[in-house]
């Protein structure tokens, strides 16, 4: 792989704009190369040109180089290299006090003076060095800003650890306190630990291994002070229903109760904060290394193209800059790892490193194999179903209507799930291809996120189970030996539902347990809204449920069909003639939208974001539309039809506008891309226009089902409803990609690459300055 592609693949996606623009500098070098090639092809140069040396001479030269004296793995012979004359100098690099924001170390910007600008083609090289300086100053300024940021975060984590250690001592009340003599001996061995942490690097409050060894030799240690507990409070926890209720009724006591639950909760929060902080430090370390390598590569390319020797002078400046000389990040990484292993892993370094540095996810070829097998099985089963229906002319049989009213809704549930999985697999594929950091956005644990092949594996596996059940059902219906409408035949869909449910809640480490647990947690947060703090995965899942209304209604039909015994005679009269069923039919459709209303209200209260009030109003308008349309489908009447059409039209316009403008960030008037946004991930702008048009069309298709425009002479009513519900799932799949693209670009704009974790303690104002 070429360095340019490798460089792009190793970037932190949210920091892409802060990296050296390697592609742009390569374009400038290409212009210089084209100019030099034009010079060499001119008639004058062709006369004076010499033929290239034969390949044998080059091979001999390479062989002779094997007999030269070894220069060593260090630079011991570097000082003996001949010095260049001033006449051979190409560039001069100097640090200047800038007038703009491109600042390097200590407020300096680096400027390169090109000494050969008077030569032919020198203006192109001058442009190259100006671009190079711009990129280098940008990189140094960003790196220095981020280092200052992590140093402040490290100081804050140190203060949090002071409070945690003091709380541990207060709660556990250790009896092995060192006697005064032992403490004095410890102070004599290492007196600096009794002083306040005033070093240049934070986290020194946590004793390092060498210090601990000295203290152990002295048979004593320094107990942390409990004074800090008089100046800190526990931050309110509103991430749980109980914490939310307490906060609402103003009964939450923020003072310490000095119990083990507080220690456990604080330790868990700080553990997560250390993990995220370590990840940010690793990103910074990798950022510095990649950019240093990129500047080295681009200068070597320049030397090769121009036959000059300017890389030594420029790379010397790079080596002496803050980007290379700064060691704050390396020291912080070491200190964070020591502290994490000691305080959160009971000294087990192997376990701590597994948590802080998770291994890269490896692609398994057997997944690809099974995906291909399952898709092949699915196609074969579909062919078998079509052939069976056609050969026995089942579409014109007397039981067709009865089958479509009972069995078809039972199996269509799985069809909706499989289609949603296929759309999500497509989303994951394109998110990965266009470097949308969906794993970070959703908050998956590193290494547990599902790739598109894993999602396809689950979808195709469920497809095989469903189609096999359908084939078995048909065969059992038509076989005289099994008798028509036998109870065992009707129980196949229920067995399939139970199997899928048991796999979903299975506690064993099979079938992607981490992802199943993540899904169940988000689902529970949706059910308990607004008692939980709303995160992106929570409202993203709730949005998916709004597109699965028909699946929820099919689940309701399962309960009615099997609970009231209609499956014994394959007749849904009890469900169809029940007023309770009709009421629940409306409630089921309203629940996903009501969940989103409650989530928007919670986000409005937590974030004071006025746009969430409008978002809640949008979902409430959809609820009104759904209720009126359901009432019209049950009672009919011209008045209800007008009300249903009006509310549906308003809700559709409102939702479409919100999809395109708020969720996708499109339709910007003053954008560089007409009516889109300034930054786009997809290479073609036409895709965005097509997506907007499709979103409108598919929303209208979904609306027509409840306006009673679903009668077709060649299709059964349930079949047409299933088709339109499938169109809504496809629309949601399109929405998913652009929604996460917009979220990713917002993170890029803010250079937000790690999660912000709430800390457990807060200090009194002014205490830190004492």
**Digit-coded pLDDT (tens) for 373-388:** 999 999 999 999 998 8
Q: What is the pLDDT of residues 584-599, one digit of tens each?
A: 999 999 999 999 999 9
Q: Which of 357, 391, 426 is the last residue of a domain?
A: 357
Q: Categorize the per-residue pLDDT at 195 as very low, low, confident or very high, splitting at 50, 70 and 90.
A: very low
| pLDDT of 56 | 52
Q: How confident is the model at residue 199 (pLDDT cuts 50, 70, 90)?
A: very low
User: Quick one: average pLDDT of 554-566?
Assistant: 90
Of 296, 328, 357, the residue at which a domain comes to its end is 357
Section 633-653 average pLDDT: 86
Question: Is residue 79 one of the residues assigned to a domain?
Answer: no
Percent of the chain clearing pLDDT 90 (strictly above): 45
Residues 6+ away with beta carbon under 8 Å from 3: 22, 293, 294, 297
Alpha helices in 533-610 (DSSP H): 536-546, 549-563, 573-576, 579-607
Res 530 pLDDT > 50:
yes
- Residue predicted with more confidence, 73 or 660: 660
Domain limits at 113?
1-42+89-177+223-357
pLDDT > 50? residue 183: no
Tell me, yes or no, whether 726 lies in a domain.
yes
Phi, psi for 109 (deg, rounded to 5): -120, 145
Average pLDDT over residues 84-106: 61
Instruction: Look at residues 232, 286, 70 and name the one whose alpha carbon lies nearest to residue 761.
Output: 232
The least confident of 33-47, 412-426, 454-468, 716-730 is 33-47
Q: Are residues 343 and 374 both part of a single domain?
A: no
Q: Which of 213-217, 416-420, 499-503, 555-559 has the lowest mean pLDDT?
A: 213-217
Proportion of the chain above pLDDT 70, given as a percent: 78
Whether pLDDT at 210 is above 50: no
pLDDT for res 189: 37
| pLDDT at residue 77, as a whole number | 40
Q: Are residues 395 and 348 located together in one domain of the fold?
A: no
Residue 414 within any structural domain of the chain: yes
What SS3 string covers 203-250? CCCCCCHHHHHHHHHCCCCCCCCCHHHHCEEECCCCCCHHHHHHHHCC
Residues 250-261 have a mean pLDDT of 59
| pLDDT category of residue 436 using cuts at 50, 70 and 90 | very high
Q: What is the pLDDT of residue 101?
A: 47
**pLDDT for residue 569 is more than 90:** no
Residue with the larger pLDDT of the pair 196 and 148: 148
Residue with tokens 């249903």: 644
Report how far residue 86's alpha carbon sits from residue 92's, in angstroms, rounded to the nearest whole number.
11
Residue 422 and residue 481 in one domain = yes
Tell me the range of 58-67, 79-88, 291-300 where mean pLDDT is highest.
Answer: 291-300
Same domain, 352 and 369: no
Return the pLDDT at 697: 92
Do 121 and 255 lie in one domain? The reply is: yes
Residue 645 lies in a domain: yes
In this prediction, residue 757 carries a pLDDT of 81
Do residues 585 and 449 both lie within one domain?
A: yes
Q: Given this model, what pLDDT does residue 237 score?
A: 64
Q: Say yes or no: 550 and 577 in one domain.
A: yes
User: Which pLDDT band, with edges at 50, 70 and 90, does 512 fall under?
Assistant: very high
Computed over every residue of the chain, the mean pLDDT equals 81
Q: Same domain for 337 and 400?
A: no
- pLDDT value of residue 676: 93
Return the closest-CA partner of residue 232 out of 657, 760, 770, 651.
760
Whether 379 and 265 share a structural domain: no
Would 323 be classed as within a structural domain?
Answer: yes
The predicted model gives 197-213 an average pLDDT of 42
Q: What is the pLDDT of residues 286-315, one digit of tens each?
A: 999 999 999 999 999 999 988 888 888 899
| CB contact set of 73 (below 8 Å; sequence gap of 6+) | none
Is residue 684 assigned to a domain? yes
Q: Is residue 100 part of a domain?
A: yes
Same-domain pairing of 528 and 626: yes
Mean pLDDT of 361-368: 85
In 3D space, the residue among 425, 325, 321 whose CA is nearest the CA of residue 374 turns out to be: 425
**Does residue 386 share a domain with residue 518?**
yes
Residue 213: inside a domain: no
Kindly give, in sequence order, each residue whose CB lies less than 8 Å from that of residue 311, ignoring residues fewer than 6 positions away: 296, 299, 300, 302, 303
Of 80, 83, 75, 108, the closest CA to residue 93 belongs to: 108
540 and 463 in a single domain? The answer is yes
| pLDDT value at 412 more than 90 | yes
Q: Is the pLDDT of residue 29 over 50?
A: yes
pLDDT confidence band for 219 (50 / 70 / 90) = very low
End-of-domain residue from the set 335, 357, 379: 357
Q: How many domains does the chain have?
A: 2
Tokens 């089942």 appear where?
Answer: 394
pLDDT of residue 524: 95
pLDDT for residue 704: 64
Q: Is 633 a residue whose pLDDT tops 90?
A: no
Rounded to an integer, the average pLDDT of 432-456 is 92
How wide is the angle at C-alpha 696 spanned by C-alphas 692 and 701, nearest 5°? 145
């Amino acid at each position: 792989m070429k360095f340019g592609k490798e460089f792009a693949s190793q970037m932190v996606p949210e920091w892409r704009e802060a990296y050296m623009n390697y592609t742009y500098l390569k374009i400038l070098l290409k212009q210089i190369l084209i100019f030099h090639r034009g010079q060499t092809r001119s008639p004058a140069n062709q006369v004076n040109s010499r033929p290239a040396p034969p390949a044998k001479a080059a091979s001999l030269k390479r062989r002779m180089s094997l007999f030269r004296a070894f220069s060593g793995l260090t630079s011991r012979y570097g000082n003996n290299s001949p010095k260049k004359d001033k006449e051979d100098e190409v560039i001069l690099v100097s640090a200047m006090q800038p007038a703009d924001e491109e600042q390097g170390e200590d407020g300096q910007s680096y400027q390169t003076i090109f000494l050969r600008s008077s030569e032919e083609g020198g203006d192109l090289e001058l442009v190259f060095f100006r671009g190079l300086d711009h990129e280098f100053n940008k990189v140094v300024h960003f790196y220095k800003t981020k280092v200052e940021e992590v140093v402040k975060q490290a100081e804050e984590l140190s203060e949090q650890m002071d409070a945690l250690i003091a709380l541990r001592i207060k709660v556990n009340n250790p009896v092995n306190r060192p006697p005064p003599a032992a403490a004095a001996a410890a102070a004599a061995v290492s007196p600096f630990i009794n002083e306040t942490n005033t070093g240049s690097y934070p986290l020194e409050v946590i004793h390092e291994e060498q210090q601990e060894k000295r203290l152990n030799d002295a048979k004593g240690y320094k107990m942390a002070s409990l004074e800090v507990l008089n100046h800190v409070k526990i931050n309110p926890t509103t991430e749980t229903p109980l914490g939310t209720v307490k906060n609402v009724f103003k009964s939450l006591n923020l003072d310490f109760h000095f119990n083990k639950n507080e220690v456990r909760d604080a330790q868990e929060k700080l553990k997560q904060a250390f993990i995220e902080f370590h990840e940010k430090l690793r990103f910074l370390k990798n950022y510095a290394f990649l950019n240093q390598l990129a500047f080295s590569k681009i200068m070597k390319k320049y030397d090769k193209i121009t036959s000059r020797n300017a890389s030594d002078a420029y790379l010397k400046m790079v080596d002496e800059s803050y980007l290379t000389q700064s060691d704050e990040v390396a020291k912080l990484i070491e200190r964070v790892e020591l502290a994490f292993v000691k305080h959160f892993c009971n000294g087990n370094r192997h376990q701590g490193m597994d948590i802080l540095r998770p291994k890269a996810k490896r692609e398994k070829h057997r997944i690809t194999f099974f995906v291909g097998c399952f898709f092949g099985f699915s196609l074969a089963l579909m062919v078998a179903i079509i052939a069976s229906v056609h050969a026995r002319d089942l579409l014109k049989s007397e039981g067709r209507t009865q089958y479509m009213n009972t069995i078809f809704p039972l199996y269509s549930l799985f069809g909706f799930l499989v289609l949603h999985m296929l759309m999500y697999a497509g989303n994951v594929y394109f998110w990965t291809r266009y470097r949308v950091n969906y794993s970070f956005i959703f908050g998956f644990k590193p290494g547990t996120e599902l790739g598109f092949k894993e999602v396809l594996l689950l979808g195709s596996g469920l497809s095989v189970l469903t189609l096999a059940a359908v084939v078995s059902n048909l065969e059992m219906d038509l076989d005289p030996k099994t008798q028509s409408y036998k109870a065992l035949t009707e129980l196949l869909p229920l067995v399939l539902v139970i199997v899928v449910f048991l796999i979903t809640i299975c506690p064993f480490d099979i079938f992607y347990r981490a992802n199943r647990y993540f899904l169940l947690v988000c689902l529970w947060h949706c059910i308990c809204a607004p008692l939980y703090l709303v995160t992106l995965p929570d409202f993203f899942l709730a949005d998916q449920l709004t597109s699965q209304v028909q699946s929820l209604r099919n689940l309701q039909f399962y309960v009615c069909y099997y609970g009231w015994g209609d499956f014994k005679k394959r007749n849904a009269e009890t469900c169809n003639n029940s007023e309770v069923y009709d009421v629940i039919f409306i409630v089921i459709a309203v629940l996903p939208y009501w969940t989103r209303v409650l989530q928007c209200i919670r986000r409005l209260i937590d974030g004071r974001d006025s746009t969430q009030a409008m978002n809640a109003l949008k979902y409430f308008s959809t609820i009104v539309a759904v209720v009126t349309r359901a009432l019209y489908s049950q009672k009919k009447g011209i008045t209800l039809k007008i009300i249903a059409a009006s509310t549906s039209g308003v809700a559709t316009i409102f939702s479409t506008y919100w999809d395109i403008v708020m969720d996708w960030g499109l339709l910007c008037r003053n954008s560089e891309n007409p009516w889109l946004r300034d930054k786009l991930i997809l290479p073609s702008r036409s895709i965005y226009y097509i997506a907007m048009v499709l979103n409108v069309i598919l929303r209208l298709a979904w609306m027509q089902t409840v306006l009673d425009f679903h009668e077709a002479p060649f299709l059964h009513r349930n079949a047409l409803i299933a088709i339109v519900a499938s169109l809504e799932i496809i629309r949601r799949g399109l929405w998913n990609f652009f929604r996460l693209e917009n979220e990713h670009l917002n993170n890029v704009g803010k250079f937000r690459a790690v999660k912000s974790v709430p800390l457990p303690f807060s200090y009194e104002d002014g205490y830190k300055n004492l």
